[in-house]
Structure 1
């Protein structure tokens, strides 16, 4: 373990020259700004007559779509899905709304999806900072939410999830979300006072969880509206902490993953499972969580159950996202890793750019 004192925020810059810590702290600021932008953007009324919604994006730009799908699917009267890849699924047509989410505006898979949507006559909305997505959206008169925030895409989640909630609500696919979003923003501001660097480790759950995950393979369990939050935790540990991590979903994991606890027999002590819980999850799912916890105890698998803050599902989602961001940040420091750089992804993009 490197010589880093998590209780001394002034020391963070030695491993964090690009100040990822500020971006982690900024989540509520991003949310408030993005919500205002989503309420101010012009949306044609006939967009409310589409028959399905697809959010197209990759990586940190796509996770907002997954969070929206998990949050809204139970309440939306039409299907919603997320597309991570080139082109689009066959069912997308003139009666589809395709939301293009790309922080840079230059992600090749997302541009492919945008072009395919345009060629099929699908309705389009774009969320981006610029690039070719903005250029094409301007050329095609596509309603576009643009924002300016200098960070890695994964560190702009407030801008890539919050407006999606506002857009689908304004189109009539969700009830009014104003009060729920205001609660979520207030709760994220509040929990920052519990998880920030100024709070000592003895009183800071995020630092304690990072210590528990140090040197371990991290596995995150979620369900229902928290399933995509588990995915977010997994990807943040991968990208921020430079560490192996996976996610699983209840109750599917009860039909396969739990059978794999036995072998390799010496691996259990090298695992750390985090279970994302909420009083708003269904009774049977929460019962499965409890029984699965007992199974993990039997197999000696370290695990911890964590819950979000707030009464609304949005507040639960956003506060658990914030907690995962802090955990992954502190874990990066414990690993002696720069939480911002993504050298393997940069390498991959360079190699792919040589062959168009």
Structure 2
């Protein structure tokens, strides 16, 4: 199966591909805006970074999950093509547009067409290799592979500033937190219900990554909502249809959330209690925003694994993705 081993090696995945990106021939790239084009786990890595550094970045940083590129992309934009396989068709379409616009392009992939462009010198970038850190080689178990490569490439290009010492300390802290967290018990509470994840800035990107892991690894239908926006959307919609009363609301709370968001968590819980609905809280334990971002996404991946075990389902195979991509005549991942 290999999924459990891959999740255990999540910190090693990040460390491995970060090092590869730092060693790659990536120059400092001056630009006035950045867009990362990618899908699935490659997009999750970008969204996690986007949320984590939102308060620090002095230039716009966007994530594009689609064909093509936004209309505002121009020659002063850095376009980062992040694709686990290097063959993602939506991401490749963005590269072609970026070339026509004269934008700087940075590719990150394990190989494929993007890998060929990097090798030939057509675009800057790095070919990442998870080595033994992602045994099943599924993108869904390789968030750390995409994340480490993207983080390292952004750092090398001068878009972000993060030291290896800080990253390694965060990964060590994450491993220590994982040794004592309650993911197995929380998985039992979620089992049989419809998981709904709640969280807020600066961890919305990590929340998105966590939701995707829940869907892909556990195959359990999972939603996520961000505070405070959810209070303007969902609070009147928790009673109908009848099946939503089986929702399990999991609050992912951080000391880095806005104080008013923390208050909204408490008030929302009171409302859910009055409505007779089920909720729990996971309080993020990391000392830094970086650790908490990794912790949130990783905790959800383990929740997904435990749900798979409780359902008696192998979390590895992807028959419906294979069918979908076969119908599209697209390389897998």
Normalising by structure 2, report the TM-score: 0.92
Alpha-carbon separation, structure 2, partners of 1:241 and 1:192: 19
Q: Establish whether residue 248 from structure 1 lines up as the match of residue 225 from structure 2.
A: yes
Deviation, 1:301, is 1.8
Matched with 1:283 is 259
Q: Which runs of 5+ in 2 are unaligned?
A: none
Deviation, 1:256, is 1.0
Deviation, 1:139, is 3.2
More helix by share: 1
Deviation, 1:322, is 1.8
Q: Which runs of 5+ in 1 are unaligned?
A: 1-17, 196-204
Q: Establish whether residue 27 from structure 1 lines up as the match of residue 10 from structure 2.
A: yes
Normalising by structure 1, report the TM-score: 0.87
Deviation, 1:266, is 5.6
Deviation, 1:179, is 3.9
Matched with 2:293 is 317
- Asked if structure 2 preserves the Cα contact closer than 8 Å seen for 1:307 and 1:320, the reply is no
Which of these residues, 119, 122, 135, is aligned with residue 141 of structure 1? 122
Alpha-carbon separation, structure 2, partners of 1:52 and 1:343: 38
Q: Establish whether residue 297 from structure 1 lines up as the match of residue 280 from structure 2.
A: no
RMSD across aligned positions (CA): 1.7
For 1:223-242, what aligned pairs fall within 5 Å after superposition?
A: 223-242=200-219
Alpha-carbon separation, structure 1, partners of 2:252 and 2:312: 27
For 1:16-95, what aligned pairs fall within 5 Å after superposition?
A: 18-45=1-28, 47=29, 49-95=30-76
Secondary structure, aligned partner of 1:93: coil
Matched with 1:5 is none
For 1:258-273, what aligned pairs fall within 5 Å after superposition?
A: 258-265=235-242, 267-268=244-245, 270-273=246-249
Deviation, 1:315, is 0.6
Q: Establish whether residue 218 from structure 1 lines up as the match of residue 195 from structure 2.
A: yes
- Asked if structure 1 preserves the Cα contact closer than 8 Å seen for 2:36 and 2:62, the reply is yes
Change (3 A) 1:56 1:322: same
Q: Which runs of 4+ in 1 moved over 6 A?
A: none
Which of these residues, 298, 309, 315, is aligned with residue 339 of structure 1? 315
Q: Deviations over 1:154-195 (max 9, x none)?
A: 211112123333333444444434343122210222133235
Q: Deviations over 1:54-75 (max 9, x none)?
A: 1111111211011111111221
